[in-house]
Chains A and B, each alone.
Chain A
Amino acid sequence: MNFVRITLGDIAHSRSGDKGANSNIGVIAYHSEGYQLLEKYLTEEKVQEFFNPLSLKSVKRYLLPNLGAVNFVLEGALGLGGTCSLRYDAQGKALGQAILQLSLLVPCDQLPNCLRLK
């Protein structure tokens, strides 16, 4: 099997939100074939590694197969929450677009069916 390196934004779109000190990032595959790649390759470990500089306490993943989406809850992403964070992106609104830069190795032959415009 041959693999190709892509960025997550090639096969999915996303949105992030905040809840106290945690952030959630929803990653939505454009097509069901893309969802299968998310399920297999976009793991909690990968996301924790990607956001390593944020020193997350934990990353938990939930699956929504009916929507072709995965939801990540990033514990500790936003410090103390409230208005105590000194970060520019105190609400984690930028995390959703940042994760689309994540690099993934996926099987070549599956990729064409995962792109937004086939």
Chain B
Amino acid sequence: MKKSVVIGNAQAFWGDRTDAAAHMLAKNPAIDFITFDYLAEVSMSILAIQREKNPALGYAQDFIEVVKSVIPFWIKGSQVKLIANAGGLNPKACAEACNEVLRQFGCVKKIGIVTGDDVLDRLKADVKSPDFNHLESRQSLESIHSRIVTANAYLGAEPIIEALRKGAEIVITGRVADPSLTVAAAAYYYSWDLQDYAKIGGATIAGHVIECGTQSTGGIFTHWLELPNEAPIGFPLVEIEEDGSFTVTKCQGTGGRVSIEVVKEQLLYEIGDPANYLSPDATVSFLNLKLSDSGENRVFVCQGTGSSPPETLKVSATYRAGYKAEGFLGFVGCKAKLKAEKAAQVILNALKEKNMEPSDFYYECLGTGAIVPLIKEKDDFIEVILRVAASDPKKDVIEAFTKEIAPLVTGGPPGTSGYTSGRPQVRPMFGYWPCLIDRKLITPRVDILEVES
């Protein structure tokens, strides 16, 4: 019987640690695949700005550093394959940059490039189509058509499997459904029929568990304070069986914990109707799942069920929505909260006087229960951090906002502190536009790049 496939995740989001893959391989050289997720909802808009300035960019450059860190393991004989959505808006350029690094070290690896997710032109050509209405508000795309920056469909496992079958040992994609990175690895390894939805469903749940990295090994766990403290939290591994059931675990000697409680929390993360979790590969139900302890830091998950995926693929589009900035000031002393609230009013009034009132202005008195506003009667705080934030279609309005914070250091309430990080940065703001597209309109494409030895 074939040994179970071992798939790790070494990147939950762009900004996560960059050394997790090397760390994982040092502890467990027999890992078969490592997945990397770089693309949050609005990552594409950041990449669009980069590509606008330089057409050779538009991908997550951190991934090149990751590939470099894996090279020593390949040279020592590891057969690990990497699957990453680091390609962003420019998977080809990402692959070429990886190719360059591999060539420098004389490491021969085929790179698979998956594209076909970019649907920007298609959406722009048909803005009135009700198909592209906002998934929730049902607004027409026409309302933002002049400001659309990116639009990408979430592809599934199939093109990744094709790349692996063509011999790719690194697969770089654009937008792909996060669990599909794991589904592709397992389906390729076991040569599953993609319509065997029980197996695909199981692997989809495995992918859902590990796609957020350390969130399934103790990160953000309700009882995080209980975790052993000896090392940074280890990234997750899933050992997927031929029937789609799997064990969640992590490398020995790493921090964190894999327990039924931890895995349950991650299972519930970012899901809607648990009977119909939608992915491009299958429609999955969580309602028959069974979890059991199978050793220290090992949780076995079985009985995930699946059925055919929807006829449509989800699309995430981003659009220019103006500019924003945020600033912080600390206040100490009696009536700190009242002082902070008044200080916020001073900022707003100063802007009104200049005819620079932002279209949106928001403030929070951090430390008083403001992060999640719940009705509270307490008011006797002696230390409060005021957070002020503003957004507006016009950049100069937000620039004016950022200049109104420092003057409070000498003109505001007593006990003001903390203005050492300088004037806040004005950042471009992007809206998120989810919609659907008929699967039949999408043609994923697989190219292979070979290192010339």
Q: Is B67's CB within 8 Å of the partner chain A?
A: no
Whole-angstrom distance between the Cβ of B103 and the nearest chain A Cβ: 37
Indicate whether A20 sits within 8 Å of B261 (C-beta atoms), given known contacts A53-B374, A83-B324, A87-B364.
no
Residue A1, interface by CB 8 Å: no
* Bound complex: CA A81 to CA B375 (Å): 24
- Interfacial chain A residues near B261, Cβ < 8 Å: 13, 28, 30
A107 CB–B CB distance under 8 Å: no
B220, B291, B362, B432: which contacts A82 (Cβ < 8 A)? Answer: B432
Which residues of the other chain, B, contact A88 by a CB distance below 8 angstroms?
364, 366, 370-371, 387, 389
Q: Which B residues lie within 8 Å of A15 (CB)?
A: 220, 222, 265-266, 268-269
Knowing A20-B135, A62-B273 are in contact, say whether A82-B42 is a contact too (CB < 8 A): yes
A18 within 8 A of B: yes
Give the residue of A20, A52, A66, A97 whose beta carbon is less than 8 angstroms from that of B434: A20
Interface centre among A86, A93, A94 (most CB of B within 10 A): A86
State which residues 356-406 of B face A: CB under 8 Å: 360-362, 364, 366, 370-375, 387, 389-391
B425 to chain A, nearest CB (A): 13
A52 contacts which chain B residues (CB < 8 A)? 375
Scan B271-300; emit 1 where CB is below 8 A from any A CB, else 0: 111110000000000111111000000000
Whether A86 pairs with B390 at a CB distance below 8 angstroms is yes
Contact with B360, one of A28, A50, A86 (Cβ below 8 angstroms): A86
Interface SS of A by simple majority:
mixed
Within 8 A of A (CB), among B219-275: 220-223, 261, 264-275
The 0/1 profile, CB within 8 Å of B marked 1, for residues 71-92 of chain A is: 1010100001111101111000
Verify B372–A95 contact, CB threshold 8 A: yes
CB neighbors of A among B162-202 (8 A): none
| A26 near B366: Cβ-Cβ < 8 Å | no
In the complex, what's the smallest C-beta–C-beta distance from A101 to chain B, in angstroms?
A: 7
Tell me if B65 is interfacial: C-beta within 8 Å of chain A.
no
Report the separation of the CA atoms of residues A88 and B158 in the bound assembly, to the nearest whole angstrom. 38
Interface residues as binary, A22-48 with B (CB distance below 8 Å gives 1, 0 otherwise): 101010101000000000000000000
Contact B222 A26 (CB under 8 A): no
Complex contacts, B321 vs chain A, CB 8 Å: 80, 82-84
For residue A12, which residue of chain B has the nearest CB? Answer: B222
Smallest CB gap from A68: residue in B: B264
A-B contact count (CB 8 A): 138
Inter-chain contacts of A115 with B (CB < 8 A): none
In contact, A71 and B374 (Cβ under 8 angstroms): no
B374 with A84: CB separation less than 8 A:
no
Report if B431 contacts A (CB, 8 A). yes
| B429 sits at the interface (CB 8 A) | yes
Let me know if B366 and A86 touch, CB within 8 A.
no
Query: Given contacts A13-B222, A67-B291, A82-B41, are A53 and B373 in contact (CB under 8 A)?
Result: yes
1/0 per residue, CB under 8 A from B, across A1-22: the answer is 0000000010001110111111
CB-CB under 8 A from B152, the residues of chain A are none
Whether B430 sits at the interface, judged by CB under 8 Å, is yes
Q: Are B429 and A83 in contact (CB under 8 A)?
A: yes
How many Å lie between the Cα of A83 and that of B43 in the bound state? 10
| In the bound complex, CA of A27 to CA of B336 (Å) | 35
Q: Contact between B271 and A84 (Cβ–Cβ < 8 Å)? A: no
| Residue in A closest to B319 when the chains form the complex, CB atoms | A82
- B391 & A71 in contact (Cβ 8 Å cutoff): no
Taking CB atoms, residues of chain A closer than 8 Å to B136 are 20-22, 75
Is A59 an interface position by the 8 A CB rule? no
Are B265 and A26 in contact, CB atoms less than 8 angstroms apart? yes
Contact of A104 with B by CB under 8 A: no
Q: Which residue of B lies closest to A98 (CB)?
A: B372
A20-B136, A87-B362 known; A64+B286 contact, CB < 8 A: yes
Selected from B220, B364, B366, the residue in CB contact (under 8 A) with A93 is B220
Min CB distance, A3 to chain B, in Å? 22
> In whole angstroms, what is the CA distance A109 to B361 when docked?
49
Contact among B223, B269, B371 with A26 in the assembled complex (CB-CB below 8 Å)? B269
Determine if A24 and B272 form an interchain contact, defined as CB atoms under 8 angstroms apart: yes
A54 at the A/B interface (Cβ < 8 Å)?
A: yes
**Cβ of B318 under 8 Å from chain A:** yes
Contacts of A19 in B (CB 8 A): 270, 272
Residue of B nearest to A76 (CB): B136
- 22 residue pairs A–B, Cβ–Cβ below 8 Å: A13-B221, A13-B223, A13-B265, A15-B222, A15-B265, A26-B269, A30-B261, A50-B374, A51-B372, A62-B273, A62-B275, A66-B286, A67-B268, A71-B274, A75-B136, A82-B42, A83-B432, A86-B326, A86-B389, A89-B371, A93-B220, A101-B374
Extra contacts besides A26-B267, A26-B268 (8): CB < 8 Å = A22-B272, A24-B270, A53-B373, A62-B275, A80-B431, A82-B318, A84-B321, A88-B389
